[in-house]
Amino acid sequence: MENNGKKRVAMRVHGKVQGVFFRASTEEKAQELGLTGFVQNEPDGTVYLEAEGSPEALKQLEQWAQDGPRRAQVKQVEVEEKDSLEGFEKFEQRR
């Protein structure tokens, strides 16, 4: 898949990030930044997301995730750059 300067990253967000509208807020922020991908709650209490887009927009999402929505208490954000693009069509919440 042609990347056109786009990158894909995976982020795992630790802390009080479930039940605080983290997924909905992430979806809103990602769409605002023109990113595609998904966000989902994990059984271990973290939130996992993958996003594709310009390196600048991904950096902004990463910076936003350090704080998250108002009620979240983010302790750590792990970021992993992926080698290839998935070609997500939009940004969505998954269960």
Length of the chain equals 95
Contact between 1 and 73 (Cβ < 8 Å): no
- 64 in any annotated domain: yes
Residues 36-83 pLDDT 10s = 999 999 999 999 999 999 999 999 999 999 999 999 999 999 999 999
Pairwise CA distance, residues 19 & 81, whole Å: 27
Q: What's the CATH number where 39 sits? A: 3.30.70.100
Number of domains in the chain: 1
User: Using the 8-state DSSP alphabet, how is residue 66 labeled?
Assistant: T
- 95 in any annotated domain: no
| Active-site hit among 3, 23, 70, 94 | 23
Domain that holds residue 72: 7-83
- Note the Cα 35 to chain centre separation in Å: 9
DSSP H helices, 1-95, are 22-32, 55-65
Q: pTM here?
A: 0.94
Reply yes or no on whether 41 is catalytic.
yes
Reply yes or no on whether 23 is catalytic.
yes
Instruction: Please name which of 93, 88, 66, 95 lies closest in space to residue 79, comparing C-alpha atoms.
Output: 66
- 17 in any annotated domain: yes
Q: What is the pLDDT of residue 89?
A: 97
Contact between 7 and 58 (Cβ < 8 Å): yes
| Active-site hit among 41, 70, 71, 94 | 41
Contact between 10 and 49 (Cβ < 8 Å): yes
- 44 in any annotated domain: yes
Residues 14-42 pLDDT 10s = 999 999 999 999 999 999 999 999 999 99
